[in-house]
A and B are shown apart, each in its own frame.
Chain A
Amino acid sequence: MSMNALKKKIAVVGVGTTEYGNFPEQSDYSLAAHAFKNALEDSGLEKQQIDGMVCCRIPYYVRMGAILGINPKWTVQLPPHGRMSGMSIIEAMMALECGAATHVALLYANIGRSRRVNYGGEENVGFWDPWGMTSPGAAHALMFRLHMERFGTTTRQLAEVSVAFRKNAMLNPSAVMNKPMSIEDHEEARRIVEPLGLLDYCLINDGAVCIILSTADRAKDLKKPPVLISGVGSQEAFTDSSISNFSQNFWYDELQSVSKEVFGMAGVQHSDIDLFLPYDNFSPTVLFSLEGMGFCAQGESGAFVENGTLAYDGNLPSNTDGGHLSNSYMQGWGLNVEAVRQIRGECGARQIPNCSVAQYVSATPCCRSIIYTRD
């Protein structure tokens, strides 16, 4: 099974973001409305033309529609998990292709910073709590320890991920983090759940993103050149999920299946990827993504990322906006926006010359990848 029939049928026609930071005076809805307005402006569409809506991490879709003053024909609400960004985009593609909607606005808002969300403990009760096990970060610490044991990967190699993304963020004026980071800074940072430390953890900040998708034929007449969705790949890993957010094989088999699908559908090779956008909730996920997508063999990602591979001027520019680690915790949504802005050539100092192929991937219990192209 694949979605080859959708190759280059759907385009991104508008993207909008808010500022990122700590906004106690804002709400999920106000942030989402701001992003929606920016995306509409970016697309040149009128709000009445939006007849499809996807809400993610927004409390109530009806209230959202009421605030925006729109009555779509098709609406989906998905839970506030980062893996839902890629999933939302693929859902909207299918809705557009089958005619359920003509222009879909996908809305995501996060107010976790100002509301002091913790992602563990009493907020998130689980079966393993009596043993003191909690939080997605701890699951990634367990996986990275296993990666160290099985392949000899080191925390200094892991540091390369955070250091490269910080270097990228320093060229992004909207990034939350803008101070330089060295490998030593990473190694000396406060430990949270060892072997991970503070600089392996994503940011928690407020903000919102809106992406507008249309069919490629309609997109041609809009304000900006469309960015085409050329490939998608999907594979869940539910049966290996007895420990939340943990996979004893780093989702490798599922990611390999996604890789085959997404590269096959898009008809591109690894060497064609100008920009790689791995979901970086925690730095180890980037290593798992590189291996799973086949940029290196399993176990070799530590060596692969050494010497700045992932920086904007490295061999595989990745998360040029700074990612979740240094730009903004927009749970995959921000990375998909970066794909669009880089392909359009809108990224200023961090712009990759002639960026025409960008790949998003999430290594989670729901593995997804999307390849965007200019042509």
Chain B
Amino acid sequence: MSDIKYNKPLPVHDPLTKPYWDHAKTHRLAVQICDECSDIHFPPSPVCPACLSENQSWKVASGHGTLLTWARFHRAYWDAYKSTVPYEVCVVKLEEGPLIVSNFLGAAPQDLYTGMPLKAVFEDVTDEVTLVRFVKNDEV
């Protein structure tokens, strides 16, 4: 659901990361893949960090991954988070390899563990921006 009052941090406009956000808006989690050596990396890079090729594409990821670690913010570094704290941030290891920072939904902190299977869900926080978040993947 879009929310005209959404005042939390939004992505910085950047040609390099725009395809990621465009994919997210259509509810797909995309990572960068090198056309030359097939290295998969994220966040995107202007050249492939493995072979330095400038020929880079975007690959829609499975949306599956595992929980690496998490932390619970009690401090609001942005004013808009004052009514949200405490909230959790997590690091997810995607099936395709890259680590991404996200949030998980619907799990109590005491139930979390490193290696917990996760799957991506999509939250349209504004008309323009969709955030990829994660829930426990019970099918694994």
Contacts and interface: CB of A to CB of B under 8 A. Distances in A.
Contacts of A190: 74
B70 A142 contact: yes
A129 to B, nearest CB: 4
Interface string A122-133: 100101111111
A131 B101 contact: yes
A112 interface: no
A195 interface: yes
Contacts of B70: 142, 145
B131 A130 contact: yes
Interface in A228-261: 239, 242-243, 246, 248
Nearest to A138: B71
What interface size band does chain A fall in? 20 to 34
What interface size band does chain B fall in? 35 or more
B25 to A, nearest CB: 13
A320 to B, nearest CB: 30
Interface in B1-53: 8-12, 17, 41-43, 49
A225 interface: no
B89 interface: yes
Contacts of A248: 68, 91, 99
A118 B8 CA distance: 17
A129 B114 contact: no
Contacts of B91: 142, 243, 246, 248
Given A121-B77, A122-B78, A243-B91, A132 B103 contact: yes
Nearest to A139: B71
Interface majority SS (helix, strand, loop, mixed), chain A: mixed
B98 A131 contact: no
A239 B49 CA distance: 8
A175 B20 CA distance: 48
Given A131-B89, A246-B91, A193 B103 contact: no
Contacts of B133: 131
Given A138-B71, A146-B69, A193-B71, 17 more contacts: A122-B78, A127-B12, A128-B101, A129-B9, A130-B129, A132-B8, A132-B9, A138-B73, A142-B70, A145-B71, A149-B69, A149-B113, A193-B74, A194-B73, A242-B42, A243-B91, A243-B99
6 contacts: A127-B11, A143-B69, A193-B75, A239-B49, A242-B99, A248-B91
The 3 residue pairs across chains A and B that have the minimum distance between CB atoms: A121-B77, A129-B9, A141-B71
